[in-house]
């Protein structure tokens, strides 16, 4: 399976109005999120996509490194939504829902979402989302939503040993490689479709669908924020995207995505 993505092929077949109208591809870059920000600063319109064959400085949440070998799908989309800065966290739910639905529809995988920004298959992370917002005063100038899908590589060959237990890839799960053009096209169409649902019908519908793909609600979880650890029952994710935890003393605590990571206690 060729590792280079044929952007012209994707664009010929793409049925979207604005997401992917402009697609920039390069074989190698530091981070597609940084590249997309540069494009946005130069006036690139909403829906512009920056995609790379490999990232040398891929970034994850909480300042973590994101390993981005050849064969993965690493891209970022520029959005200019009419949202308050505090509401842009909702875009992480939109993007992870789009990825989970696409993986289910294309490959029949039981893809699940985990608060706040992961997509899992068989309990292992297959995709991460990194959303970054540029604000001017109280207004959102643009948001860059970066999507990283572990696709055509074997986890043991390309990712460091400390990730072998917690990460997976399409190749590892399906036992074969997939056509990246086909996956990108389907993802961009799903992203646009759900973005329009979000704008027309509001976040509640996106969140309701997102919740149907979770398996952590109702489970005992640990939430980490720096050195601090919170333990409790994951009771809900509310309309602001906050995790509602029931603590040991019975009280409810809302936790915002920020710098947190969540571990499900099995
Ligand atoms: C996470 O789970 O911590 C988020 C990972 C996000 C990775 C993607 S790959 C494309 C885009 N460019 C980056 O540098 N990061 C995001």
Compute the distance from residue 236 Cα to the ligand 1 centre, in Å. 25
- The CA-atom distances, in angstroms, between 197 and each of 17, 81, 102, 111, 194 are 14, 13, 16, 21, 5
Ligand 1 pocket test: which of 35, 64, 68 has the largest number of ligand atoms within 8 Å of its C-beta?
68
pTM equals 0.95
Q: Structure tokens of 224?
A: 């980490």
Kindly list the protein residues whose Cβ atom lies closer than 6 A to any atom of ligand 1: 31-33, 55, 58-61, 64, 66, 68, 74-76, 117-118, 128-130, 146-148
Q: Is 218 left (phi over 0), alpha (psi -120 to 50) or beta?
A: left
How does pLDDT run along the chain (266 residues), one tens digit per residue? 655 789 999 999 999 999 999 999 999 999 999 999 999 999 999 999 999 999 999 999 888 999 999 999 999 999 999 999 999 999 999 999 999 999 999 999 999 999 989 999 999 999 999 999 999 999 999 999 999 999 999 999 999 999 999 999 999 999 999 999 999 999 999 999 999 999 999 999 999 999 999 989 999 998 887 677 888 999 999 999 999 999 999 999 998 875 556 777 66
Angle at 115 between CA 260 and CA 248, to 5 degrees: 70
Closest CA to 54 of 9, 93, 5, 105: 5
Cis peptide before 134 (omega within 30 of 0): no
pLDDT for residue 108: 98
């Amino acid at each position: 399976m060729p590792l280079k993505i044929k952007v012209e092929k994707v664009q010929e077949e793409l049925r979207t109005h604005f997401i992917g109208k402009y697609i920039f591809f390069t074989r190698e870059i530091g981070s597609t999120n940084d590249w997309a920000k540069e494009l946005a600063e130069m006036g690139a319109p909403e829906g512009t996509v920056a995609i790379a064959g490999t990232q040398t400085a891929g970034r994850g949440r909480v300042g973590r490194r994101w390993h981005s070998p050849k064969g993965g799908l690493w891209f970022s989309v520029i959005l200019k939504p009419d949202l308050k800065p505090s509401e842009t966290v909702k875009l992480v739910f939109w993007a992870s829902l789009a990825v989970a639905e696409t993986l289910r529809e294309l490959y029949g995988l039981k893809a699940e979402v985990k608060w706040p920004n992961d997509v899992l298959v068989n309990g292992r992370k297959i995709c991460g989302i990194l959303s970054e917002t540029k604000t001017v005063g109280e207004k959102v100038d643009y948001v860059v939503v970066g999507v990283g899908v572990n696709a055509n590589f074997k986890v043991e060959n390309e990712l460091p040993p400390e990730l072998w237990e917690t990460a997976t890839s399409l190749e590892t799960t399906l036992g074969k490689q997939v056509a990246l053009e086909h996956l990108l096209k389907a993802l961009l169409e799903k992203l646009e479709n759900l973005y329009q649902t979000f704008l027309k019908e509001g976040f509640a519908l996106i969140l309701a669908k997102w919740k149907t793909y979770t398996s952590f609600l109702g489970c005992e979880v640990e939430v980490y924020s720096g050195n601090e650890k919170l333990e409790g029952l994951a009771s809900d994710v509310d309309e602001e995207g906050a995790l509602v935890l029931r603590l040991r003393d019975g009280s409810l605590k809302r936790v915002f995505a920020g710098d947190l990571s969540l571990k499900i206690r099995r």
